[in-house]
Structure 1
Amino acid sequence: MSSESLHPTSAPSRRTVVAAVGAAGLALTLNACGSDDDGSAAASGTALAKTSDIPEGGGKIFKDAGVVVTQPAAGEFKAFSSKCTHQGCAVTGISDGVITCPCHKSEFSVSDGSVQKGPATQPLPEQKITVSGDSIALA
């Protein structure tokens, strides 16, 4: 072996490598925090549905917006996160007054998002919506 291969002169120092990796990680973190490009949340003011689209005693899941809109009683509209509080699965069903998670069968009330059946122990977080005429939008 030559002495050149044992003592490379062009290799970056450990400090340079650590600084570069840290800067790259920070750039990725800042980009991820400031971006809604993944479609997981709709922008504020985004129209979701017409009031007639939401069945009384039931609701509708808006996957792209990450929200469930319900109508527990005639003319009363509520919205909740569509992410189950147990392990973060997206809820997929609404029937008989409950919102259901397919992963472990947790059930949540269409009225207030409270847990009706575990394993979830926390309610679905409420989301803000506005109802104007016959239009429902994220607030």
Structure 2
Amino acid sequence: MKNEQMLASATSRRTLLAGVGSVGAVTALAACGTEADAPSTSSGAGATPTTGAPATTGAAATSAPATGGGSTADALAKTADIPVNGGKIFADQKVVVTQPTEGTFKCFSNICTHQGCPVTSVDGGAITCKCHNSIFSIEDGSPTSGPAKKALAQKQITVEGDSIVLG
């Protein structure tokens, strides 16, 4: 009887290890997702603007005249910080803010829609993800080249005086 219990116990351990192996394989494969598997983004607090951090999908903005004070306490950036025909990546908030034409500001997720890497630069009218060389338009976040097929997600911003506020 004891041998039968040991055999059953050994079989249970093998079954358990086989299951864990399968879970490990599934986890490893999940890292190689598709565009539909890209992580969702949310805004965080306390981010510092950076250039060279990846950008995500989306392009939404509300523009107001870029004059006056604005709410600096909640400001993501000053309008003067965002170059015309360029933009700035805010890695902590997971967004990229662009200024396609003078006085027009757009905001997108900084996460590439191809495989979820953050975008790395904004320059010359393009948002670039260096992971797989996807390039997006600063005007609407649409892919212009590379493997990405979906636009960056739009994020809401408001221009209050000379301040750009997320949300």
- After TM superposition, the score normalised by the length of structure 1 is 0.69
Equivalent residue, structure 2, for 1:105: 133
| RMSD of Structure 2 on Structure 1 (CA) | 1.8
Equivalent residue, structure 1, for 2:44: 42
Q: Give the 5 Å matches for 1:1-139.
A: 41-42=43-44, 46-139=74-167
Consecutive unaligned residues in structure 2, runs of 5 or more: 6-41, 46-72
CA distance in 1, matches of 2:114, 2:98: 20
How many residues are paired up? 101
Consecutive unaligned residues in structure 1, runs of 5 or more: 1-5, 7-39
CA distance in 2, matches of 1:50, 1:121: 32
Equivalent residue, structure 2, for 1:35: none
Of all paired residues, the percent bearing the same amino acid is 59
What is the identity, as a one-letter code, of the residue corresponding to 1:41? S
What is the identity, as a one-letter code, of the residue corresponding to 1:133? G
**Largest Rg, 1 or 2:** 1
Aligned-pair CA distance for 1:46:
3.9
Aligned-pair CA distance for 1:47:
1.8
CA distance in 2, matches of 1:88, 1:119: 12
What is the identity, as a one-letter code, of the residue corresponding to 2:106? K
What is the identity, as a one-letter code, of the residue corresponding to 1:71? Q
- After TM superposition, the score normalised by the length of structure 2 is 0.57
Please state whether the residue corresponding to 1:52 is helix, strand or coil: helix
Runs of 4+ in 1 over 6 A off after TM superposition: none
What is the identity, as a one-letter code, of the residue corresponding to 2:123? S
Q: Deviations over 1:71-106 (max 9, x none)?
A: 000000000000000000000111110000010000
CA distance in 2, matches of 1:60, 1:48: 11
Please state whether the residue corresponding to 2:92 is helix, strand or coil: helix
What is the identity, as a one-letter code, of the residue corresponding to 1:74? E
